[in-house]
Each structure stands twice: as structure tokens, then as C-alpha cells.
Chains A and B, each alone.
Chain A
Amino acid sequence: MAMEAVEFRRLVETHQRMVFSLALRVTGEYGTAEEVAQDAFLELYRTLGAPEDRLESEDHVRFWLRRVTVHRATDAIRRRAVRPEAAAEEFLEEAHAGAGVEDGAGMNATMVARLEELLQGLPEAMRVAVVLRYQEEMSPDEIAKLLGQPVATVKSHLQRGLQLLRRKAAVTMKEYVR
């Protein structure tokens, strides 16, 4: 196996959970998420082979993968008219089998599944900002840089997205959310 392929395999294994999770939470659909994640990695493979597009560090690779994945996921939603709201049931079945069982963080699987479902109902821009903030634990500044948006826009999306989620959760998840 060539050195390039060995390095590529290492990067895939290191970042596959991040890339797939991002794609899944933005598209809300398992098959589309895998396709988006694979395409993002293959673009990385081509970039590794192009000396003019050198990725200089692990941080640079992570930033690059997050940006490409988010762009490809939002493109997939628009191109294929994937409606995350409609795909929410599939998401719940695939991602959170074993409802009622508490996970390592003490969260009830049903509650996690319901939060995911509510997330899929958010408008695209808010959903992307919320996923990057709470899944990837990125600051608003980092999100703004990644998406090429003003920080104020990102903060507004985060604030409105969070309030919208909180309001929906208060109605549909009374037993979990105060």
C-alpha cells in the first residue's frame, strides 16, 4: 500500500465518527449521510494527492473535513429535497435502538431520540450552527470562520435555534424538560 493510502486510512479512522455524525445530524437521513461522508473523505484523498492544496496539520485536516462535510450535507438536502422532518423516524430507529436504557452520560435514550427529532425540525442554518456548537463544541467564532459567516449571524442562529428547541421540548418533552 502506498504511503499516501496508509496516511489516508489513518485519517479516515480518526475522523469517521465526526464526519458521519455531522452529515447525519445535518441531513437527518442515514443513507444520504453515509454518501456525504464518503464523498467528503474522497475529496480529502484527492486533496492529499494535490501538492498545491497541502493540508499542513491535524487541526487543518479537521477544519477542512468539517467545512466540506457541512457544505456537502447542505447541498445534498437542497439537491435531493431530503426533508429531515420526514426522515426523523428512520433516524430514531437507526441511531437510538434501545430506548429507555440510560447511556453513559445518564441520559435516557428516549429523551436523546426526542431531542434529535426536534433538531431535525429546525431550519437548516440554525440546525448547522446548533450541531457545530453542541456536537463539535465549537465557539461561535470558530463556527463563523468555518461557515464564512459573520459572528453576529452565527450567534443569532444559535440563540434562535436554542430557544426554538427549548420551546418545542417544553411542549413535547414535559417529563424531561423543566
Chain B
Amino acid sequence: MSHVDDGTLHAYLDGELSPPEAQGVEAHVAQCPACRERLEEERALIARATELLAQAAPPERDLPPFRPGDIQPPVRLWWQVRLPLAWAATIALALGIGTYVGDHNGMRPALEQTPTAPPTEFADQLAPNALPSAIARTRDTEAALKRQRAPERRGRASQPAAPPDSVAAAEEKRKEERIPQASADSIAIRESNALAVRESPPMVAGGQHMAAKAAAPAPPLPPAPTPGRLGMMRVGDHGYALKGGLIGVDSARALLGRDPLVVPDAPILGIYRARMVGYSGVIVEQAPDSSTVIEVINARPASLQLDAIVVTGAAEARADSERRGAPTQIDRRVDTLAPAAGRQKTDSTVSGFSVEIIGPLSADSLAALRRLLRPLRP
């Protein structure tokens, strides 16, 4: 039997021979001392060559994140599912009325007037009952305030509406705004709604219908048909972020003044601008695995920040609140963040810079992902 050639020996040692070929080599080597010796020589040669090649290796570095660049993320259902408040926003849209309310923290969610309007446009429309004490006071002053607000809102609303409609709409508005608040507020909602019903007899049926709707919604709101990527998401106690357009990494850095934090090794689907009142924000969409999409929201307080909001265009209402000793300015600084109960997300604040992850995962998984967050390097 002929000896095994070098090429075959190397292929054998490299594990590149088919099983029958390998068996042939083994059978020959077993009864041929010369080939057995060559086999060991070649084995040593391969080891030496591999060792030498290892000397000519570049320094080991971390695997840079894979960025498939211009691949567009498909529009997904999760987006709608995870925005319970979009439902409330849709009602607001249908009624054609938008308004703004501040809460005891000073910062209150903006409800969309139109799907594309940035929240800042509502800044001057903060309703007087945003004042901390005003919320507690609502019940007894509701009737007085309503008389002034109703015509005022009607004036602002783009489409003409009958007076009773506006009253009911304003009530509905207030109900929606309180949805994220503690359940204690829901009592106030029902009471104020009852007020509205009493106040406007022609709307009794409609008002009760609304009341029924408003009483139900709080935690598991059904998904609403939110348009594309323009929608709002709740971000801790920052209020709401409006997801803006796709931006590049460099723009994200410029917005944040630092590298955005991302989950390492998870492909980045896209980086979006986040529009938040008082904050510069960036939303990084990532896919830790093929079926999950998370959003890492990076935000820092904007350099231009509101210190106070003075309510205008509601002279009598303000006079009313001054008489009762309520503050007329709202402190808008939000430094402490407390995760809202029942929402699956996690956030933290480091010297004003805050990060939050939102995704269809358990709170524990999100917390684990949060610990992994690292600055995105080029």
C-alpha cells in the first residue's frame, strides 16, 4: 500500500477528510511506522505554524456594535400595544381638543392635539387646575371654573362645537389627564364628572357614556391606532416623549452631549430623536434577540429649561385661585424619578442624565439589561 502524502496528512490533521478517507489514513498509519513518524512531524509543524501566526495578530479589541446602517425597522404592533395612553390621546383627537395640565410634581403629560404637534406648542395652554392645590380644590370650584373655561376652550378648539359639547369635552379631558395618577384621583374624576352632568342637562346621556368609558380604562388600555412612529410614550416622571425622526449617532451625541447608553452587542435598529418638554432625548431601538425590541431612552435636561409657567388668558380663574392662596406658578424642575407602579420599565438618574429602558420584558429582565448599559462607541 502506498504511503500517505503530505497534503492528505494535513487534511487529516485539520479534520477535513471525509470519515472513510480518515479511516483509510488511520489504517495505513497503524501499520506503517514511517508514516506514523511523519504524522507526528506534521502535527508539530502545524502547531508551530499556528503559534507563529498568532504572533502576527492585531491587539484584541471589543467587538464594535453591528450597525446595519440604513436598514429601516418595520412598523411594529408592539408600538401600539405599549402605549396605553395613546388610546386617551385618540379620544382627544376625535374631540378636536388638546390641553395641558401640570401635576403636583410640576410636570404633567401633554396630550396630543394633533398627531404631529410637538408638546412645546401647548406650553401656554397649561390649564389652571394644574396647580397642586387646585387638584384638591377641584371639587368645590369645579362649577365656577368650568363656566370660564368652557367658552375659552371653545375658542381654542379648531372645530366649532356646541357649548354642552365643550363642557363635556373639557371634563373628558380632565379625566384622561388623571388616568396615570393614583386611584384616589379617580374619585375626583367621577365627582367632577357628576358635576358636569348636573350642570349640563342636555348632555346627561353623553356625559354618562363618557363617565363609563373613563372609569374603565386605567391599566390595560386596548391598543390604539397610533400613526406610524409619531406617538407618545411615557418616560418615568418626565412626562411624555414624542418619538421623532431617525437621526444619526453623531446627532445623538450632540443632543446628549455624550455617548448614548446602549445595551452592548444588541443590534441597533434605529436611533430616534425624543421630544420631551425640558429634556433633550434620544431613543435607541435595539433588538436583544430577533423577536424582542427594546427602547433605550437617554435624556438630559435641556439647556433651555422652563422655571415656571404663568397661566394667562384665564384672568378670573387666577383671581379665584389667588383669593384662595393657591400658587400661580408651577415649579417645573424634575430631578427625582420614581418608576410609575405597574409599568414595566426601569430608569435612573446620574447628574441629571437619565436612562430608561422600555420593552416587552419583565421588570427583572429590564433591570438586568439596564445594568449592561454601556456608552455607544464608534
Task: Note whether A and B form a binding pair.
Answer: no
List residues of chain B with CB under 8 Å of any chain A CB. none
List residues of chain A with CB under 8 Å of any chain B CB. none
